[in-house]
Every structure is written in structure tokens, then in C-alpha cells.
Amino acid sequence: MANTATPSPSTQDGKDIRRLVLVTGASGFVGSFLCNQLTEKGFNVRRAGRSVIPINDGATFHTADLASESEWKLALQNVSVVIHLAARTHVLNEHADDPLTAYRSVNVAGTVALARQAAASGVRRLIFLSSIKVNGDSTSGAPFSEGSPPAPEDAYGVSKREAEEALQKISAETGLESVILRPPLVYGPGVKGNFLRLVDAVSRGWPLPLASVNNSRSLVYVGNLADAILACMDAPTAAGKTYLVSDNEDISTPALITNIARALGKRPRLMSFPPALLMLAASMLGKSAAASRLLGSLRTDSSRIRQELGWQPPTSQEEGLRLTAQWYYRRQNP
């Protein structure tokens, strides 16, 4: 794999190289937000992504493909902490002949290559962004916690679980400190996928037959997730731990739609319709997974990270939705 890198400003100017952080997936939704936060906190950030993007803060951008043969030596030089966000993300319209193999080649093999080279380069800690899908796709009673048995239900969740196991093994063998975070749905400025489609539907005033849905789902604002990652960078207690992270404000789908509408300055158009019939119709159209995310519950218990690290989500869900709405309008009217 062809990789390019330039020396970090920290190695050129004699700055404290202990503050040098490598972020993979830096140009993505979470990565771009996190890199800005790190820079504001005084860290020197080395960005790793699939393509070069213009930046104006003097930080290095390193291009790399995430695979078993990826070469990270230059990118890891003098790095203290690696924050590994890059992944083959959950694909709604999967076209790969063998989805699990496709996920494993990036999410497992790519993570193993990065972790082993990080350990060999003297990196102190690697923070891995996993997914709540490691635990499963839904909850019917108690929320998922770190003690819940892993039960991934699709290829993406399986690959994330296997990556976690591989990282924990490498940590035990090499002394590389690993921290694993499992977020639920992440929203905020720059969001894509189903959440953006939902915001768009509410903005356009489309009638949504979801008023009768009685569920509860955990979400996490991108700024809260970035703040949780920052909390895990240096805390001694976090080494070797897995944390579930959320806004700590579970919400039903109708309430979420109502709150999105309020943030957009719109009136929600919710209609009552039997959820069982909605699920049946979705199944007939091959959209069962998407319908489950709207109709089912998925709750997470984020008390462990709050208790052990003293972390609290700095942004309320109401404020997070307001900021998302502002971004959405700027996107529509640049």
C-alpha cells in the first residue's frame, strides 16, 4: 500500500512529542470533529485518512489504506496515543458477495496491523472506536452494559467484536494500553445515513406513521463522543477497559421526531399506525433492519465511564439536536 507522510510539527519545532496523537479516519464524521477538539486542547494531531484534505492548522495529514498490509511506520513516529476511528462502516445496501470477509479485511486485519505496529513503535495507548452492535441490535428489558455478553447479529458487529478480541490479545502480549468505546447511533453536524434522512423527512414536512411507536433508544452526540475519547486518553483507570458511551438521555422515536422538528422550527407530522403492520410492510420490502431501528428499543448503560472517569456528556441532547439543525440548514443553503 502506498503511504505518504510528512514530519509532524512537534518533531520539527521541538514541541512536546508526548502530545502527538494519530487519528485514523480523521476526515470522517467523528474524526473531523475530534481532530478539531484535540487541536483546541493543545494536542499535535497527525491525521490519517483515505485521501488528502486541505487543513490550515499546520498538522500532518497521512494517507493510508486500512488493511493487513498497511504500513504505519512513518505515521506512528513519536506518537503517544492512537485513536482508531477508521473502519468499514455499517452498509445498509450491501453489495459485497461475502460481507463478513469484506468487513474483516478492514475492521479486523487493518486494526491488527495498526495495533502491532503501534506497539512496536512505542505507542502508549490505542483507543478503538467499536460499536454497540457488538452487544446486539436491540434490547427488550435492561439496557446493555459492559457486562452484557457480546451477541452481534450482523457481519459489521461480528467484525467489530473480533477486532476488540484481537486488540485485547495484542495488548496482553505487548503492553500496549487499549481502550474500547462502544457508542450507539452518533448524531450531530456532518451526520449521514438514516439520521440525516430522518432530519430531511421532518424538514420537508413528510407525514410519518410513527406516533404509536413505544420504544426507547440511546443516542450520542458527536461532541459528547469526542469528549469521552478525550477523557480516555490519559486516565490510568481506562487502560484495558471497555466503555459504553451515550448522551444518558434515552428517547422514543416519536419524541425524537418531535425534538428534531422543534430544533428545525417545524411542526412534526406524526400519524398513528400499528407498529406490527409497519414491520410487516418493511419486511415485505426488504427493509426489516431499517424498520427495527425506528420501531425497536436499544438502550445502553453508560454509568461505568461516568463513575470511573468522572465523565459527563457536556452537551445536552436538546442542544445537540439544535446544533445538528443549524448545520442542516447551512448545508441546504450554503
Domain 16-182 shares a fold with domain 186-220+246-300+315-334: no
197: exposed, middle or buried (Cβ count in 10 Å: 0-12, 13-18, 19+): exposed
CB 301 within 8 A of CB 244: yes
pLDDT in tens, 291-307: 888 899 999 999 999 99
pLDDT of residue 5: 39
pLDDT of residue 310: 96
Q: Give me 173's grid cell.
A: 502480549
Question: Is residue 328 annotated as part of the catalytic site, yes or no?
Answer: no
pLDDT-derived band at 240 (thresholds 50, 70, 90) equals: very high
pLDDT of residue 305: 97
Q: Which of 168, 92, 98, 100 is nearest to 130 (CA)?
A: 168
CB 297 within 8 A of CB 252: no
Please state the domain extents for the chain. Answer: 16-182, 186-220+246-300+315-334
Q: Give me 39's grid cell.
A: 487541536
CB 152 within 8 A of CB 134: yes
Count of helix runs (H) and strand runs (E) in the chain: 13, 9
Three-state SS sequence of 266-299? CCCCECCCCHHHHHHHHHHCCCHHHHHHHHCCEC
What is the layout of strands, in order, in the sheet containing 177-182? 60-63, 44-49, 20-24, 81-84, 125-129, 177-182, 242-244
What stretches of the chain show up as alpha helix (H) in DSSP?
9-12, 29-40, 73-76, 99-103, 109-120, 155-174, 193-203, 222-232, 253-264, 275-284, 288-295, 303-309, 317-332
Average pLDDT of the chain, as a whole number: 88
Q: What is the CA radius of gyration of the chain?
A: 20
CATH level 2 (architecture), domain 16-182: 3-Layer(aba) Sandwich (3.40)
pLDDT in tens, 54-75: 555 545 655 556 766 778 888 8
Q: Which of 162, 80, 169 is nearest to 125 (CA)?
A: 80
CATH class of 186-220+246-300+315-334: alpha beta
Distance of CA 58 to the CA centre of its chain: 25
pLDDT-derived band at 11 (thresholds 50, 70, 90) equals: very low
Q: Which of 153, 42, 156 is nearest to 104 (CA)?
A: 156
Which helix (H) or strand (E) covers residue 127, if one does?
Answer: strand 125-129
pLDDT in tens, 190-234: 999 999 999 999 999 999 999 999 999 999 999 999 999 999 999
Catalytic one among 156, 187, 243, 328? 156
